[in-house]
Chains A and B, each alone.
Chain A
Amino acid sequence: MSKKIEIMLSAFLFSMIAHVSGCTDKDTHNSKLQLFPIASITVDSASTIVSLYAEDSLQVGFNRLYIGMKTTDDGHEVDNAQVELIPMMDMTDMGMMHSSPFEEPSGYENGYFQGAVVFTMPSYDMGHWTVRVNFLNHHNHMQGSAVFNLIIKNSSDVKALTIGADKYIMTLIDHKEPHVGLNDFEIGLYKKQTTMSFPPVTNAMVNIAPTMPSMGHGSSNNVNPVHTSMGRYHGKVNFTMTGDWQVDVNATINDTTLLSTHYDLTVE
């Protein structure tokens, strides 16, 4: 509840500010977008400030990342650039590094280059996540990179992730406040080719079945997710009451199961 009020309040304030501050921000910022600033890094070699935003604090699972860039000399927004994301985890205790699935920023929109990273495990004292942002500014042909140190919270209950035997990775996408009735249900499905390469799986058949373990019943009218783009599958899940639900998800290709798991969600 208080969180809702907070969001509403900040949305209200944001829109007030956007309104008062006039033209300059109006063209470049979308007042609807509620972003959580993570860090800003000045890349002196390219005279650019790179800022990283997310929609919430970063967690295990699917996180949209927003990259805003400004030139240090004239303070212009960088709106025409090539931007790359490289997530990396350094597990010093294990002596290994690995990457994770991600979506390359698709282009410039509302002041940001928007990409996404699927963090596959939480940070811990010997395990550190970074995201490297490489950029090439098409206006001034300056290029550089910024490395952000990130703290990734665990989220086994909210955003779960499972690695199957054949090294497939599945994540829930955007399921923050499931409500009674029909909800969008989106997952991302990726194959772990190497520790550094996680291409999306685009041709799987995904079946879902929500149940309430405490009552032993399911629900009707669910829509199995189908592939939309970049390994994302979109469907619908129907929660017929509040309480603890379990959504079984099963991904197959040609009747071979890639991954079979379930997500626990609490509907309020």
Chain B
Amino acid sequence: MRTFILTAILALIIPLTIRAQIQSMELRGVVKDATTNQPISYAHVSILETKRGCACDKDGRFTLSLPQGEYEIRISAMGYQEKRMLIRSQDIQASEIEVSLFTRTIVLTEEVVVANRESARDLRSLYDQKFNTVDDLSSKIDGVTLIQRANFASEPSVRGMTSGQIATVVDGMKIFSACVDHMDPVSAYVEVENLEKLEISKGSFDLSLSQNIGGTINMVTEKPDFEKRLFTENEAGYESVSRLKRVRSVVNVSRDNIAVRATFSYKRAGDFYAGKNNRVQRSGFEKNNYKVDLSKKIGAAHKVNVSFIGDNAWDIGYPSMLMDTRKTKSQIYSIEHRWERTSSRIRLIESKVYANRIEHWMDDYDRDVTARTVMKDMYMPMFGKTTTVGVTEQALIVDKKQAFRIIGEYYYLNAFADMTMESIANNVSPMYLVNLGGIDVNNISLAINYDRALNNRLYWKLNARTDYSDRSLHDKTGRRLLEGSISSAPLHQTYITAAISSVMEYHFSPAYTMSVALAQSERMPTHLENYGFYLYNIQDGYFYMGNPNLKPEQSRQIECRLISEHTASRFQLNVFYNIINHYVIGVLTDSEFKTYANINRARIAGVEGSGTLNLAARWSVAASVSYLYGVNDELNEPLPLIPPIQGSAALVYQNEIIWLGLDARVAGAQKRIAGKTSLEDETKSFAVLNMRGSIKWNSHLEWKFGVENIFDKLYHEHLSINNLPGRGRNIYTGIIVTY
């Protein structure tokens, strides 16, 4: 069987690789300093697809000979912010293209903030596939591991940090999950076609979007394109492992100063099969998602964007949990005004007003409640709801060698959740409780980023942030319940946190960069940690009570990065160490309940290495490996949900028509488990091999396909709750029609 599949793959790859090439074109251009308009000498231009490149001359000019097609080119120069551009042969006129580069310190676009963030786009240059899910996107980033509870949106863990320690935002907007059992990470409410990119900052070095100690995942949504008068993209796809069917559509229309982009998708999956034909009962789902954006340019500098994302899902099976999701519903609204002028000292002023609401219903009506030990003979439908309203204001001020960004935000969160318990016995009264008693959070924050080029080789970035938060409970029953169960009475709580980070980046040469980042940060407890009541934690089997008197977690962290970047290769090594004081865990209050409490100290350290290498003209390889070590110093045991040493390797072939990749995901055994604080057990090592590809038949039609878990391995990830097995062999395919 194995040899057959391998042979099949090779048989598919080989003939396509020798496909001859068409005519070539000449790309000529000049690279200039955006502020002074002077040419930049000896800038570097490289084509990401072919890993080829050239250097500009003294006058900033370059010439590249390329086959017809579409390319992403990267222009970089010492002391300047690198730039990426998409070049299509049909767009190239006889005249040369002009590329303006900003001084490194001047522009702080998110992808380039001194090595703190990795955009998924960098990886897309290698894995240039159309991702199927947001999970596909985030799992491609080193240090991000997904906590799996179902064959549905997984909760991301960034370097061993989860939920409250990291922030997941959409275009910077705060959104809070409605399910008290972590069934609905924020990423569940956004689909791939909504997104432009995922920006992840690991650790608390970047404090601009959230107050946290573990990182921020910003799902940047795609905005209407003023260049596309009428554009449509339609896709239909199928996945064999869960008999998933999907359709998605994108439409972009623009006229003069108005542009509209709309997306719609629908998908439906049955039970999925783990390796060796093991059907995982009740693991299907049904979901739709739609997004509409309206953008209007007013004059040269103003732009207004109105956005709406709606998402609905039904009957999502959670095989690892006690309950399934009956229904979820989210609505995300925002209005953004952007004023931008590249020539002025005040470069950008952005204002945003947003509101979102998430509702989540779950129950266990489809389960055999007589057969379980927890909540035996009892149905327990639960409901959860969050409403968030916020305003952000940000300004960017730039100077020749420095840049200053200030971001102010206010948001209000209201969260409510309740639960009914219906005994299957007739003589038992129904039971009711409030898990989140109408929690009100008012949060005000101020963040600043300051960038300065100390000289041509040395750059410095300073981040600072402070947050003020006021919290209380409104629901009468919720108040009574919580007051009854905690010994310390006042439920009202206010927090003030402060965080600061400093990053130095040194360029030994255009190819070698080293950076050292230091941060001292705090994160406030989540509203669940403060006020949750009777929250069942499947990871340790205890019911949890909130603690309004929790102290913020405090973190001190350091990270060193080494990057070497040549035209044909890129290597990066990250080493980090994080000490967390007042670490929040559940502490037994009596034999049955845990209360959130601060413990003395936890530490997390890790290494991430990754590299890409261009082997031959159209072949490249990529590999990454990461290791994480977490320890709870108070109990002297490992932290829970820490992934084992893991890595991935990929071999990719691409030309203008075909893209083919063979990739493997390998995870070592995890023997360091948190035996005292969780029910997790040791996990065996595994390797999963995948093959993916896409063929562009013509400019309108693309076929994508792949086989995941080719050898149909039966395995589970260490971060799979209750050892939910990974998906078995999955053959997926999709047709994309673009006009």
* B592 touches which of A220, A238, A242 (Cβ 8 Å): A220
- B-contact 0/1 string along A194-219, CB 8 Å cutoff: 00000000000000000010111111
Complex CA gap A217/B483 in Å reads: 19
Q: Show 30 A/B contacts (Cβ-Cβ < 8 Å), sorted by A.
A: A179-B480, A180-B480, A181-B477, A181-B481, A181-B482, A181-B484, A182-B483, A212-B431, A214-B378, A214-B428, A215-B375, A215-B421, A216-B376, A217-B592, A219-B485, A220-B485, A220-B545, A220-B592, A221-B589, A238-B485, A240-B433, A240-B534, A241-B481, A241-B534, A242-B431, A242-B432, A242-B433, A243-B421, A243-B430, A244-B428
Evaluate whether A241 and B429 lie within 8 angstroms (CB atoms) in the complex, with A220-B590, A221-B485 already known: no
Which 10 A-B pairs give the minimum distances between C-beta atoms?
Answer: A181-B480, A243-B431, A181-B484, A241-B433, A182-B484, A238-B484, A214-B428, A242-B432, A241-B431, A243-B429
B593 at interface by CB-CB < 8 Å = yes
Q: Which of B574-619 contact A (CB under 8 A)?
A: 589-590, 592-593
How many whole Å from A242's CB to the nearest CB in chain B? 4
Give the bracket for the number of chain B residues in contact with chain A: 20 to 34
A239 at interface by CB-CB < 8 Å = yes
Most-contacted residue by chain B among A217, A239, A240 (CB, 10 A):
A240
B109 at interface by CB-CB < 8 Å = no
CB-defined contacts of A212 to chain B, threshold 8 Å: 431
B690 at interface by CB-CB < 8 Å = no
Most-contacted residue by chain B among A180, A216, A244 (CB, 10 A):
A180
B22 at interface by CB-CB < 8 Å = no
Most-contacted residue by chain B among A182, A216, A241 (CB, 10 A):
A241
Complex CA gap A76/B662 in Å reads: 103
Q: Which of A142-197 contact B (CB under 8 A)?
A: 179-183
Complex CA gap A241/B431 in Å reads: 6
B425 at interface by CB-CB < 8 Å = yes
New contact pairs (10) apart from A214-B378, A240-B485, CB-CB < 8 Å: A180-B477, A181-B480, A215-B431, A216-B376, A217-B543, A221-B487, A240-B433, A240-B534, A241-B432, A243-B429
B486 at interface by CB-CB < 8 Å = yes
CB-defined contacts of A244 to chain B, threshold 8 Å: 428-429
CB-defined contacts of B534 to chain A, threshold 8 Å: 240-241
CB-defined contacts of B593 to chain A, threshold 8 Å: 220
CB-defined contacts of B89 to chain A, threshold 8 Å: none
Complex CA gap A242/B421 in Å reads: 9
B377 at interface by CB-CB < 8 Å = yes
* B interface secondary structure, majority: mixed
A contacts, CB < 8 Å to B:
179-183, 212, 214-221, 238-244, 266
CB-defined contacts of B484 to chain A, threshold 8 Å: 180-183, 219, 221, 238-240
Complex CA gap A215/B376 in Å reads: 7
CB-defined contacts of B482 to chain A, threshold 8 Å: 181
How many whole Å from B480's CB to the nearest CB in chain A? 3
CB-defined contacts of B249 to chain A, threshold 8 Å: none
- A-contact 0/1 string along B410-435, CB 8 Å cutoff: 00000000000101010011111100
Evaluate contact between B481 and A240: CB separation under 8 angstroms.
yes
CB-defined contacts of B428 to chain A, threshold 8 Å: 214, 243-244
CB-defined contacts of A266 to chain B, threshold 8 Å: 429
Chain B residue at minimal CB-CB distance from A182: B484
How many whole Å from A78's CB to the nearest CB in chain B? 43
How many whole Å from B66's CB to the nearest CB in chain A? 69
Evaluate contact between A218 and B592: CB separation under 8 angstroms.
yes
Complex CA gap A241/B485 in Å reads: 11
Total of A-B residue pairs, C-beta within 8 Å? 76
Complex CA gap A97/B296 in Å reads: 94
Chain A residue at minimal CB-CB distance from B593: A220
CB-defined contacts of B590 to chain A, threshold 8 Å: 218, 220
Complex CA gap A212/B430 in Å reads: 12
Complex CA gap A221/B375 in Å reads: 21
CB-defined contacts of B432 to chain A, threshold 8 Å: 241-243
CB-defined contacts of B481 to chain A, threshold 8 Å: 180-181, 240-241
CB-defined contacts of A241 to chain B, threshold 8 Å: 421, 431-433, 481, 534
How many whole Å from B540's CB to the nearest CB in chain A? 15
Complex CA gap A219/B433 in Å reads: 13
Complex CA gap A54/B386 in Å reads: 48
Complex CA gap A262/B714 in Å reads: 51
Evaluate contact between A214 and B425: CB separation under 8 angstroms.
yes
Complex CA gap A217/B425 in Å reads: 17
CB-defined contacts of B589 to chain A, threshold 8 Å: 220-221
Chain A residue at minimal CB-CB distance from B378: A215
Chain B residue at minimal CB-CB distance from A244: B429
CB-defined contacts of B480 to chain A, threshold 8 Å: 179-182
Chain A residue at minimal CB-CB distance from B377: A214
Complex CA gap A179/B483 in Å reads: 13
Chain B residue at minimal CB-CB distance from A213: B428
How many whole Å from A175's CB to the nearest CB in chain B? 15
Complex CA gap A33/B545 in Å reads: 38
Q: Which of B460-493 contact A (CB under 8 A)?
A: 477, 479-487
CB-defined contacts of A238 to chain B, threshold 8 Å: 484-485
Complex CA gap A241/B593 in Å reads: 14
Most-contacted residue by chain A among B485, B486, B534, B545 (CB, 10 A):
B485
CB-defined contacts of B485 to chain A, threshold 8 Å: 181, 219-221, 238, 240
CB-defined contacts of B378 to chain A, threshold 8 Å: 214-215
Complex CA gap A216/B377 in Å reads: 11
Chain B residue at minimal CB-CB distance from A183: B484
CB-defined contacts of B479 to chain A, threshold 8 Å: 181
How many whole Å from B395's CB to the nearest CB in chain A? 48
Complex CA gap A182/B489 in Å reads: 11
How many whole Å from A267's CB to the nearest CB in chain B? 9
How many whole Å from A10's CB to the nearest CB in chain B? 24
How many whole Å from A181's CB to the nearest CB in chain B? 3
- A-contact 0/1 string along B375-388, CB 8 Å cutoff: 11110000000000
Complex CA gap A220/B428 in Å reads: 22
Complex CA gap A179/B428 in Å reads: 17
Evaluate contact between B421 and A180: CB separation under 8 angstroms.
no
How many whole Å from B505's CB to the nearest CB in chain A? 51
Complex CA gap A220/B543 in Å reads: 11
Complex CA gap A185/B378 in Å reads: 28
How many whole Å from B437's CB to the nearest CB in chain A? 11
Q: Which of B482-519 contact A (CB under 8 A)?
A: 482-487
How many whole Å from A158's CB to the nearest CB in chain B? 15
Chain A residue at minimal CB-CB distance from B482: A181
Evaluate whether A181 and B483 lie within 8 angstroms (CB atoms) in the complex, with A215-B375, A220-B589, A241-B534 already known: yes
